[in-house]
Amino acid sequence: MVWFPLCNRTRYLVCSHRFVADIMLGLPRRWIRQLGYVGVLLMFCIGLVLVANKQRLIVLDDYLGAGFTPSFFQPSSDSYIVDIAIRSCFKLGSASSECGVPGKNEGVLGNLGSSGEWVKIDKDLTLGNSWVQKQYFSYKKAKYEALDGKISMEGDQENAGKREEKLVDQVIIDIAIANPAKDATLPGNEKLKLPYDLAANFFSGTPYDDEEHTALVDSQRAQMKGKLTAVTVEKHKAASNEINRINLENERKEAEKEKEEKAAKEAEKKGEKAEAKKKANDDSGNKKRTEETSRHALKTSITMPSMDQVKARGWRYKSHGIWVRYGPPSHKNAITGIDILFGEGAVDPRPNWQLNTKGHIQGISTTADRKPYLTIRRGPKLDYKSKQYQTPLKMNKNGKFKILQVADLHLATGNGKCRDPVPAESAKNCLADPRTLKFLNTMLDTEKPDMVVLTGDQIFGDNAPDAETAVFKALDPIIKRKIPYAVTMGNHDDEGSMTRQEIMSLSANMPYSVAAVGPEAVAGVGNYVVPIEGYSTHNTAITLYFLDTHKYSPNPKVNPGYDWIKESQLKWLEEEGASLQKSSAAYSKMHMSMAFFHIPLPEYRNIDGQTKVGELREGVTAPRYNTGARSVLGKLGVSVVSVGHDHCNDYCVLDVQDKDSSRENRMWLCYGGGSGEGGYGGYNGYIRRMRVYEINTNDGKIETWKRLESQTGKEVDRYTLVSEGKLA
């Protein structure tokens, strides 16, 4: 230990570790062993405290502060759902926040004051299908303090004891929904009308051993003893005679069988072995009898429970075919969130949510393919921006990075309507969304992209009275595969039930999303930059710019048509590009940039005399007013811009600015091509398609190709846009 004072500051940590080690080595073994025991005991005690915190026996946050306790040992939730209700209100009064909301004193636990409230899901269950009224689903949320008996009774001391008695098992832990067609298949369910799954699984956890079986048989025999009437005796005799007749018939058949087998043996000796064997097998198959040696091997039918048994399990009927089950707040399946989605094709890609598609809410006036379904969350609200739900964006080891562009999905609430499907005969019984999503799933499995870019009009607003359902359908195939994705807004997305801000916020906060709402000071939503890091470095290998191209012209008389990229967006672009300059310049390979948005730039019209790959089938619907976005993107080093919007155009054109000067600037302007059956097609038999980009920073190359819905196994128009860092 003489060397310890000689340690300098840079080596202090190493020296101190050696000092501690020397002290430990200098201690008697008995002391070291005792310290080990103390350490194990301390760890055990800490574990007990953490488990107690998870079970709410203690609240560590009260002593250590919020955020100190590991998330795994935090309680499942701070609030729970204790009741649900569906209420109607007239359309004339639907603007009121109280429309369709139960009163404060209604439901389980009554008025909870500041410790709970009714929460209305702001979705008309009829989706506007009713002319007179709207119907809303609400759930009653209670904080844990209310369930723990800590709620203030506001002077109601007389009923305080009654309130605490009611707090037992008042949290909803499960929901079952009726499906009349399926439920009716259960014998004896005509009166109770229980959901099939509730009844079928009711006794799944009940032990049924041999002792209990014997007791049940003895009980039934005791009940029947002495109760046989003359009629039943006659029936018993008739049954006995029938059994004797059947036994005699079986004996006769057995004798015939033995005779036939003997004849078959003789036939074998005469060289007719094959035919005799076949005949014997056929006869044996027809007369084969099996015997089960255990009652457990027999098929059993579902025994309908009584209403008392149903209630004893905590089940209660609410309304509209909905049953809820109550249990303690500590139950692992306690429900903490409820939402409504619509249509048989609805999905919920959120990891801790579960969509119940076995039965829809009954008694709601809406179309057949837009029935409302419940989706529930168990456990706390998750942060989808955490590392668990994010995939790092980095170059592959081979220096490549593949992007799948998905343009104009035009998804709906429900199945959607096919527009101009190819071939034309497929229009009969065509379901737009299932067909579009099948194409998307096939492309994801075929290309296995490193990133997906959705360039607007994911939702066909006019056909999406519940936009959330459509957003989830678009994102579900990508989230399932844990692929990072970016989103831009189109001109149709917000024409349904959600604003642009709401849709972008929802998309940006889903698992594996790299999208962002963008700065408030910049026009539009969805202005953001995504850097792709090098394989073995944090330096930026690829810079991807995403912009909001808005909707329709704010001044259609002067500039008819579509809106344009604003000056505030261009200024922001320049600032972002400058801030990324250092990181991209430090990248040892060839840094490359691309930009994605929905509506094309005015320069997309510059086709004459330019290099073009792909098809121009319809007019370019770019804005009439040009704010110079093409020039700004060029200064940022963007090599390729890719858009959607004009479904039947799928070309890439090499736009050259200042061709005959030293300031010559080149940029590829590409279309992704419309992919959704719910959007228009036509234009000489346009087939839906998607575009792929493969960026190779080792060689400074960008290649692109498309795949058609009708030929996903074949690449179309494969072309090298950039080679050795130079545009072709």
Asked whether the beta carbons of 419 and 678 are under 8 A apart, the reply is yes
Distances from the Cα of 35 to the Cα of 18, 19, 39, angstroms: 19, 18, 6
CB environment 527-541: b (16+ within 10 A), e (fewer): bbbbbbbbbeeebbb
Cα-based torsion angle of the residue sequence 179, 184, 190, 192 in order, rounded to the nearest 10 degrees:
-30
Cα-based torsion angle of the residue sequence 441, 445, 447, 450 in order, rounded to the nearest 10 degrees:
90
Tens-digit pLDDT profile for residues 405-460: 999 999 999 999 999 999 999 999 999 999 999 999 999 999 999 999 999 999 99
Nearest to 592 by CA among 543, 633, 550: 543
Separation of alpha carbons 476 and 512, rounded Å: 11
Nearest to 439 by CA among 135, 637, 687: 687
Nearest to 440 by CA among 474, 482, 484, 402: 474
Chain centroid, CA 10 distance in Å: 51
User: Does the pLDDT at position 263 exceed 90?
Assistant: no
| Degrees, nearest 5: CA angle 393-398-401 | 40
Query: Which amino acid is located at 306 in the chain?
Result: S
- Residue 504's pLDDT is 98
Separation of alpha carbons 255 and 258, rounded Å: 5
For the beta sheet containing 638-643, the strands, ordered from the edge strand earlier in sequence to the opposite edge, are 528-533, 540-546, 592-596, 638-643, 665-671, 652-657, 612-613
Burial class (CB in 10 A: 0-12, 13-18, 19+), 335: buried
φ/ψ bin of 552: left (φ > 0), alpha (ψ from -120 to 50), beta (otherwise): beta
- Residue 112's pLDDT is 87
Nearest to 526 by CA among 489, 555, 562: 489
Helix (H) or strand (E) run with residue 652 in it: strand 652-657
User: Does the pLDDT at position 216 exceed 90?
Assistant: no
Separation of alpha carbons 177 and 193, rounded Å: 11
Asked whether the beta carbons of 151 and 115 are under 8 A apart, the reply is yes
Q: Are strands 711-723 and 701-708 parallel, antiparallel or unpaired?
A: antiparallel
- Pick from 208-222, 282-296, 708-722: least confident: 282-296
Token match 């759902």: residue? 81
Q: Determine how many CB atoms are found less than 10 A away from the CB of residue 333.
A: 14
Residue 72, phi then psi, degrees to nearest 5: -65, -30
- How long a stretch of residues is the chain? 728
Reading the block at residue 41, the tokens are 């005991």
Tens-digit pLDDT profile for residues 657-674: 887 777 778 999 999 999
User: Does the pLDDT at position 54 exceed 70?
Assistant: no
Separation of alpha carbons 707 and 675, rounded Å: 10
User: Higher model confidence: residue 53 or residue 130?
Assistant: 130
What is the arithmetic mean of pLDDT over 559-587? Answer: 95
- Residue 151's pLDDT is 39
- Residue 486's pLDDT is 98
- Residue 687's pLDDT is 97
User: Higher model confidence: residue 75 or residue 725?
Assistant: 725
- Residue 534's pLDDT is 96
Q: What share of the chain has pLDDT > 90, as a percent?
A: 59
Helix (H) or strand (E) run with residue 436 in it: helix 432-447
Q: Determine how many CB atoms are found less than 10 A away from the CB of residue 697.
A: 23
Q: Are strands 665-671 and 638-643 parallel, antiparallel or unpaired?
A: parallel
What is the arithmetic mean of pLDDT over 66-92? Answer: 77
Token match 């519940």: residue? 466
Q: Determine how many CB atoms are found less than 10 A away from the CB of residue 694.
A: 18
pLDDT averaged over the chain?
84
Asked whether the beta carbons of 512 and 349 are under 8 A apart, the reply is no
Tens-digit pLDDT profile for residues 164-200: 334 456 899 999 999 999 998 888 888 888 998 888 7
Q: Are strands 540-546 and 638-643 parallel, antiparallel or unpaired?
A: unpaired
φ/ψ bin of 392: left (φ > 0), alpha (ψ from -120 to 50), beta (otherwise): beta
> 163 falls in which pLDDT band (50, 70, 90)?
very low
User: Does the pLDDT at position 162 exceed 90?
Assistant: no
Separation of alpha carbons 469 and 351, rounded Å: 16
Nearest to 112 by CA among 71, 42, 163, 179: 163
DSSP per residue, 15-45 = HHHHHHHHHHHHS-HHHHHHHHHHHHHHHHH
Burial class (CB in 10 A: 0-12, 13-18, 19+), 261: middle
Q: Are strands 451-455 and 485-488 parallel, antiparallel or unpaired?
A: parallel
φ/ψ bin of 676: left (φ > 0), alpha (ψ from -120 to 50), beta (otherwise): beta
Residue 582, phi then psi, degrees to nearest 5: -65, -45
Domains and CATH numbers, the chain: 79-151+166-202+304-378 (2.100.10), 400-727 (3.60.21.10)
H helix runs in 55-112, sequence order? 61-64
Reading the block at residue 478, the tokens are 């990508």
- Residue 153's pLDDT is 37
- Residue 458's pLDDT is 98
Query: Which amino acid is located at 527 in the chain?
Result: N
Q: Determine how many CB atoms are found less than 10 A away from the CB of residue 95.
A: 7
Reading the block at residue 436, the tokens are 């579009």
- Residue 285's pLDDT is 46
- Global pTM value: 0.79
Ranges of beta strands (E only) in 281-384 are 315-317, 322-327, 335-342, 353-355, 372-378
H helix runs in 586-679, sequence order? 629-635
> Helix or strand or coil: residue 704?
strand
